[in-house]
């Protein structure tokens, strides 16, 4: 089955930070997991490059918008391998192929009668050459960029008939209870729709850094229309000479942060309907990462620096930490203290040390060979359904709960070692068969949790599986097999060394 997962495209005016890494990592876990299950996966991320802020920043830096976009987009593209993102493509909205596709699709929306000329009225900054709204308006109706007074002005714009989609959207939400998750975000979007949809302007005059409106070269599309369409345009050109649209659209899961809920839960499906395209299957909204309960901000200097964490502890540890610490969907606190605590107690002590002790015991008493025997029935029972359970949780995009389900088994394995005390059995040669069962059960349990963890920590788990002599990461391999076919293990270095 095709499985298409997307992240938002990141606005090039900002530096890559933890929030970008978080969304991308979550999407990557889903993509890798679905690949383990043999699905036909396409995972998209990229950068959003048009719009006034970029044009202004470029002007301030004395470069062209394209030069600025090239430079900053490259930073995001460089982030991907650092966080072990396995995205299949990285789209840039300044790509001429994207621009062309946006024009084609919006022309269709226009021809279908969903676009009309209207006038946009609001507070205008002559220096920015753009209208200011909401938080963009400084105290006393001034421009926060230039500090000058804004003037009330009208501009001729093209408008998108969002109001025409009031009922279709309500029906979409009614027919698909899981269209937006978690439910509180669904409520939020739905109440927005029910409060009455107004038409929105979809073009801007006097700005050149954008996608030109094909029937009116004096205007460019409002950046959201250009940006949202990336999810479908990318499929047209991501693979040379092949159009992947029919294969992957509609997307199975579109991950977004809660700040852009409205655009993805309301505007986006309306645009798709207007263009005669299918609507995305589901939108999954995550929360903010907070630092000690405060919203992250550079000025507060409380940012957990993802690059520093990766440098010192590896990308696997960052991936694990972010999805483990914060209930996916809710806001949650992250910080260096919390990171170190989980790194030490869970990655190093619980899991890393489990791998060390398991492999060491098999080496010491069995010369690295795991006997092909039936496993401990109680352990077998406790591992029953681990594969099904984790797969279901990830289907529901509950990575935090999936990790918890796996961790219950990791702890179970450490308890099993203490209960069985193999070092005692090893002292009594007549209990040799017992020792075989204990070690084989343990090795199988370690192998099972490791396969289950593979999408979260691709690097570390690959190492462990290699040392166990069982490199298979297909999802069937996540199931605990109650009778072993024997493994050959080799010594392993500490997976998550303590500083």
Partner RNA sequence: GCCCCGGUAGCUCAGUGGUUAGAGCGACGGACUCAUAAUCCGGACUGCGCGGGUUCGAAUCCCGCCCGGGGCACCA
Give the span between the Cα atoms of 499 and 496, in whole angstroms: 9
Nearer to RNA, 48 or 387 (CB): 48
Given the residues 125, 132, 202, 375, the one annotated as active site: 125
295 is catalytic: yes
Residues binding RNA: number (CB under 7 A): 71
Residues 432/414, Cβ–Cβ less than 8 Å = no
Give the span between the Cα atoms of 357 and 353, in whole angstroms: 6
Among 25, 115, 143, 162, binds RNA (CB under 7 A): 162
Could you give the string, one character per residue 243-282, with x where binding to RNA holds by CB under 7 A and - elsewhere? ---------------xxx-xx-------------------
Q: From 71-79, 229-237, 356-364, 469-477, give the range in contact with RNA by CB under 7 A.
A: 356-364
Residue keyed to tokens 């489990």? 354
Comparing CA positions, the residue from 287, 291, 399 lying closest to residue 337 is 291
Q: From 207-215, 305-313, 355-363, 481-489, give the range in contact with RNA by CB under 7 A.
A: 355-363
Give the span between the Cα atoms of 202 and 269, in whole angstroms: 15
**Residue 497 tokens, joined:** 């060394």
Say how many C-beta atoms besides its own lie within 10 A of residue 242's C-beta.
Answer: 11
- We find the least distance from the C-beta atom of residue 275 to RNA, in angstroms, to be 18
Nearer to RNA, 82 or 333 (CB): 333
**Dihedral, CA atoms, 69, 32, 102, 21, nearest 10 degrees?**
-30
- Name the strand (E) or helix (H) holding 213: strand 212-213
Nearer to RNA, 244 or 346 (CB): 346
146 is catalytic: yes
- We find the least distance from the C-beta atom of residue 403 to RNA, in angstroms, to be 12
264 is catalytic: no
Q: Identify the three-state secondary structure at position 298.
A: coil
Name the pairing type of β-strands 203-205 and 216-221.
Answer: antiparallel
**Residue 414 binds RNA (CB under 7 A):** yes
125 is catalytic: yes
Among positions 6-65, residues that touch RNA (CB under 7 A) are: 10-11, 14, 48, 51-53
Q: Identify the three-state secondary structure at position 333.
A: strand
143 is catalytic: yes
Among 42, 221, 222, 339, binds RNA (CB under 7 A): 222
- We find the least distance from the C-beta atom of residue 344 to RNA, in angstroms, to be 7
- We find the least distance from the C-beta atom of residue 42 to RNA, in angstroms, to be 22
- With the C-alpha atoms ordered 147, 152, 153, 159, is the resulting torsion angle positive or negative? positive
Q: Angle at CA 134, nearest 5°, toward 133 and 140?
A: 90
Count of helix runs (H) and strand runs (E) in the chain: 21, 16
Q: From 23-31, 60-68, 138-146, 219-227, give the range in contact with RNA by CB under 7 A.
A: 219-227
Phi/psi of residue 293, each to 5°?
A: 80, -5
Among 82, 86, 142, 327, binds RNA (CB under 7 A): 327
Q: What is the 8-class DSSP label of residue 239?
A: B
Q: From 60-68, 103-111, 148-156, 342-350, give the range in contact with RNA by CB under 7 A.
A: 342-350
298 is catalytic: yes
**Residue 411 binds RNA (CB under 7 A):** yes
Nearer to RNA, 3 or 320 (CB): 320
Given the residues 117, 154, 171, 295, the one annotated as active site: 295
Residues 258/22, Cβ–Cβ less than 8 Å = no
**Residue 90 binds RNA (CB under 7 A):** no
375 is catalytic: no
Among positions 423-442, residues that touch RNA (CB under 7 A) are: 423-424
| Residues in the chain, total | 499
Catalytic (active-site) positions: 17, 20, 125, 128, 143, 146, 295, 298
């Amino acid at each position: 089955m095709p499985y298409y997962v997307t992240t938002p495209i990141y606005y090039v005016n900002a530096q890559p930070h933890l929030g970008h890494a978080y969304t991308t990592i979550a999407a990557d876990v889903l993509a890798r997991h679905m690949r383990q299950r043999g699905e036909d996966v396409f995972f998209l991320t990229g950068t959003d490059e048009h719009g006034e802020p970029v044009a202004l920043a470029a002007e301030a830096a004395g470069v062209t918008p394209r030069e600025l976009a090239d430079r900053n987009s490259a930073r995001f593209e460089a982030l991907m391998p650092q966080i072990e993102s396995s995205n299949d493509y990285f789209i840039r909205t300044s790509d001429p192929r994207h621009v062309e596709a946006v024009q084609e699709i919006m022309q269709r929306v226009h021809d279908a009668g969903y676009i009309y000329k209207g006038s946009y009225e609001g507070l205008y900054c002559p220096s920015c050459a753009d209208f200011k709204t909401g938080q963009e308006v400084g105290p006393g109706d001034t421009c926060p960029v230039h500090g000058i007074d804004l003037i009330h002005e009208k501009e001729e714009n093209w408008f998108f008939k969002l109001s025409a989609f009031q009922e279709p959207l309500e029906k979409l939400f009614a027919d698909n209870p899981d269209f937006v998750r978690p439910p509180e975000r669904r409520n939020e979007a739905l109440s927005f729709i029910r409060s009455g949809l107004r038409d929105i302007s979809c073009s801007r005059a006097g700005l050149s850094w954008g996608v030109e409106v094909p029937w009116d070269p004096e205007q460019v599309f409002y950046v959201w229309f250009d940006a949202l369409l990336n999810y479908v345009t990318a499929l047209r050109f991501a693979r040379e000479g092949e159009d992947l649209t029919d294969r992957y659209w509609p997307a199975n899961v579109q991950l977004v942060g809660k700040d852009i809920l409205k655009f993805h839960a309301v505007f986006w499906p309306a645009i798709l309907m207007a263009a005669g395209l299918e609507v995305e299957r589901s939108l999954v909204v995550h929360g903010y990462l907070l630092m000690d309960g405060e919203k992250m901000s550079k000025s507060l200097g409380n940012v957990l620096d993802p690059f520093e964490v990766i440098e010192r502890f590896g990308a696997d540890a960052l991936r694990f930490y972010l999805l483990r610490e914060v209930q996916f969907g809710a806001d949650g606190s992250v910080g260096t203290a919390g990171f170190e605590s989980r790194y030490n107690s869970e990655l190093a002590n619980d899991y890393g040390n489990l791998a060390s002790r398991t492999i060491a015991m098999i080496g010491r008493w069995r010369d690295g060979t795991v006997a092909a025997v039936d496993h401990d029935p109680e352990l077998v029972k406790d591992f029953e359904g681990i594969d099904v359970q984790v797969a279901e949780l990830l289907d529901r995009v509950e990575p935090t709960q999936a990790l918890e389900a796996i961790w219950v088994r990791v702890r179970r394995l450490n308890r099993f070692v203490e209960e069985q005390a193999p070092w005692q059995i090893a002292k009594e040669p007549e209990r040799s068969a017992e020792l075989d069962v204990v070690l084989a059960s343990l090795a199988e349990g370690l192998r099972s949790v490791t396969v289950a963890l593979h999408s979260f920590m691709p690097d570390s788990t690959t190492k462990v599986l290699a040392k166990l002599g069982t490199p298979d990461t297909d999802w069937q391999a996540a199931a605990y097999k109650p009778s072993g076919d024997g493994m050959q293990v080799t010594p392993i270095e500490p997976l998550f060394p303590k500083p």
